[in-house]
């Protein structure tokens, strides 16, 4: 089974890209934001950045949910897609370590952009708990995959700069890898 995790800071287009990939691959999609415990949502809605401690259980739940959807007998593709911020390498490692099932492989698609563009995108969203004042905290801890972590160097991650790109352009760049 292959679990594709689409991540990056708020405003990079994680959900949009993950939905497009799920449609292309005819596989289930899990929105990681829906797996946050209420206490995390309350913190973020109040403008309080999450700590590593706030994230560990959530990231484990993201991994487990994606693995379960991938292993569901009704899913004939062997693929599962999940979106979540996965901002640091240790978060990506934790997702892999939290996997359930046998023969689970992970690929990470990390989307990033300039801080200014992220502010603009998040300011234009309606009805989302993540407000633009929280973008800075995510941007500051963001670790864009590099070196051995990248697919082209034998790793499991693809890093995609979304600055100035629309969803279709980002999708075309990512889809050629799957």
The span from the CA of 19 to the CA of 142, in Å, is 23
CATH entry 3.40.50.720 includes domain 2-171: no
Segment 101-128, tens digit of pLDDT: 889 999 999 999 999 999 888 876 555 4
Per mean pLDDT, which range of 18-27, 44-53, 74-83, 147-156 is the poorest? 44-53
Has residue 132 got a pLDDT over 80? Answer: no
In sequence order, the 6+-apart residues with CB closer than 8 A to the CB of 36 are: 44, 58
Segment 45-68, tens digit of pLDDT: 888 888 999 999 999 999 999 999
- Residues 68-87 have a mean pLDDT of 93
Residue written as tokens 């990390």? 110
Residue written as tokens 């593709």? 77
Predicted TM-score (pTM) of this structure: 0.92
Q: Are 55 and 77 in contact (CB under 8 A)?
A: no
Name the phi and psi angles at 18, rounded to 5.
-60, -40
The span from the CA of 149 to the CA of 76, in Å, is 29
């Amino acid at each position: 089974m292959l679990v594709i995790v689409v991540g990056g800071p708020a405003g990079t287009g994680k959900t949009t890209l993950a939905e497009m990939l799920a449609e292309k691959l005819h596989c289930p999609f899990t929105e990681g934001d829906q797996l946050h415990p209420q206490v995390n949502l309350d913190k973020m809605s109040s403008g309080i950045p999450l700590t590593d401690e706030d994230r560990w259980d959530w990231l484990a739940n993201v991994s487990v949910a994606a693995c379960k959807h991938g292993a569901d007998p009704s899913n004939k593709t062997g693929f599962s897609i999940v979106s979540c911020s996965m901002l640091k390498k240790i978060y990506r490692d934790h997702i892999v370590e939290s996997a359930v099932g046998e023969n689970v492989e992970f690929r990470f698609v990390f989307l990033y952009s300039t801080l200014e563009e992220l502010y603009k995108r998040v300011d234009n969203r309606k009805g989302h708990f993540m407000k633009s004042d929280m973008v800075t905290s995510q941007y500051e801890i963001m670790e864009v995959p590099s070196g051995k972590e990248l697919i082209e160097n034998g790793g499991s991650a693809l890093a995609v700069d979304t600055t100035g790109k629309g969803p279709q352009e980002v999708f075309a760049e990512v889809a050629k890898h799957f």
